[in-house]
Amino acid sequence: MRKMTLFLGLALSLSCLSQNKQGYQNPVIPGFHPDPSVCRVGDDFYLVNSSFQYFPGVPLFHSKDLIHWEQIGHCLTRPSQLPLHDATTWGGIYAPTIRYNDGTFYMITTNVSDKGNFIVHTTNPRGEWSEPVWLKQGGIDPSLYFENGKCYLVSNPDAGIFLCEINPKTGEQLSESKRIWNGTGGRHPEGPHLYKKDGWYYLLISEGGTEYGHKVTIARSRTIDGPYDSNPANPILTHINKNAQNNPIQGTGHADLVQASDGSWWMVCLAFRPQTGSHHLLGRETFLAPVRWDENAWPVINGDGTIALQMDVPTLPQQPPVEKTVRTDFKDGKLGTEWVHIRNYHPENYTFSSGKLRLKATPVNLDNSKESPTFAGRRQEHINFTATTSLQLQKATAGDEAGLTVYMFEPAHYDLFVKQLENGKQAVVLRYRLGEMTHIEKEITLPKNEVQLRVKGNKDSYSFEYATDGKSFKELGRMNACYISTETAGGFTGIMLGMYASSGSNISKAYAEFGYFDYSEL
């Protein structure tokens, strides 16, 4: 009995220690997850990100501690909610905001490739969201604020922050749009959010452009429609200054604030991690910082307005989720929430058979900037990683291909694929597309059978390998990472690791069967 008591006491002590853990690693949501917005409902936190040209749109996350996030779906899952015709990496869905009021969740965002600002809502964030209601006030990065039965909209038409009252269920604008702040003089004042604390209305925005000069600024007023006075200590978050010039995190900005049930305040923001010189490839990621917000005072972010990869600060009781599995095996007959397509995809080109994902080859290839190629991709989340898949090309004619792509967007991707040759044989091929230039780096003829393809990434390069027995991988070539980085290629997104199939013929019956997709950090 004494041994049992000691054992229980030890277990309880260890449990208490785990619930008072100090510190965490940034980014809290790695990979291409920009423009985070967060809200709290009880002890639950919900977070959304931009998705640009990818479908489904607006990834939705849940957390109990603001540190460990699980993707529970997307807000926009139907073409009627998310028309992405002709959407490029500069188009589609820009910064969303998520808010909760009186039993209903609202997500407001901008589809710059369609009709602009709109709202969807739901009472169950894990289920389906409503059809969009469109808004009159323009600009991008719209946000909502609820108070006393009223709903207010802020966005940034005409290079400033404008406010109006709306009906969030119908989209009807109930008051004239009024300019309430122009920011501190930085370019692109955007990402506005309203909060109320200690009788003050606080207006948080981002300035400087979502690059190295990004920053977060704040103003306040006693009335919601202003005038708003700027914080003398602006910016409250930036890495453009000398104190962060060597920080491995850069481009901090586009933030949202949330108060936890214990009274503590936190900020989520975007930033990126340069990995080869000043180049970054993973896109803008989601970071977390503590906020000290004394009564009747301005907020202070992490003590000095900067953030770090290792945050040695007190946290909420941490609740790590079940660890992600390395392998996606397709045995469930569906793709998980992490998988997306380019623009509005064609479901008939994606089927499952005998535990494998079958991708139909179509004439729409990865270079096409208008249509949706047969592509299923997931975000690269780590600078050092490995991704492996196994595929067999079936019913193929000369020119049909399928494989693994390291994809930034149409003019910037590296492809490792199996191609059908005219002589009835097949080859494994390494190809790059850089701007107007497409080049076959290497091609090796192989027996016509199942082939395993692998890519390994580090800060400077991608290594491409193949095997025919699932074990003996051989390197086919290496590619320089900086050529498909944001700084070289452009765009607002990050690297996607995708499986794809394409054909040079309109009458091809080719398809590729993918047996699995493995992804892990190295």
Cβ 138 vs Cβ 153: under 8 Å: no
Residue 5 in 3-state DSSP?
Answer: helix
Reply yes or no: is the peptide bond before residue 56 cis, omega within 30 of 0: yes
Q: Which position has the token pair 């899952």?
A: 77
Reply yes or no: is the peptide bond before residue 27 cis, omega within 30 of 0: yes
DSSP 52-105: BTEESEEEEEEESSSSS-EEEEEEE-STTT---TT--TTSSEEEEEEEEETTEE
Output DSSP code: residue 354: T
Residue 276 in 3-state DSSP?
Answer: strand
State yes or no: is 35 an active-site residue.
yes
Closest Cα to residue 34, out of 275, 236, 278, 210?
210
Sequence letter at residue 248:
P
Q: Which of 65, 141, 190, 285 is catalytic?
A: 190
Is residue 188 left, alpha or beta, with left meaning phi > 0 and alpha meaning psi from -120 to 50? left
Kindly tell me the burial class for residue 351, based on how many C-beta atoms sit within 10 Å of its own C-beta (0-12, 13-18, 19 or more).
middle
Cβ 87 vs Cβ 53: under 8 Å: yes
- Torsions phi, psi of 209, nearest 5? 80, 145
CA distance 450 to 447: 9
Distance from the Cα of residue 509 to its chain's centroid: 34
Cβ 236 vs Cβ 298: under 8 Å: yes
CB neighbour list of residue 226: distance below 8 Å, 6 or more residues apart:
163, 178, 180, 181
Closest Cα to residue 165, out of 178, 179, 144, 151?
151
CB neighbour list of residue 517: distance below 8 Å, 6 or more residues apart:
327, 328, 378, 387, 388, 389, 499
Indicate if the alpha-carbon torsion angle 482, 485, 489, 490 is positive or negative.
Answer: negative
Kindly tell me the burial class for residue 270, based on how many C-beta atoms sit within 10 Å of its own C-beta (0-12, 13-18, 19 or more).
buried
Q: And the tokens for 278?
A: 């000043």
Provide the total of helices (H) and of strands (E) in the chain, helices listed first. 2, 39
Cβ 502 vs Cβ 374: under 8 Å: yes
State yes or no: is 371 an active-site residue.
no
Indicate if the alpha-carbon torsion angle 337, 340, 343, 349 is positive or negative.
Answer: negative
**Which residues participate in catalysis according to the annotation?**
35, 190
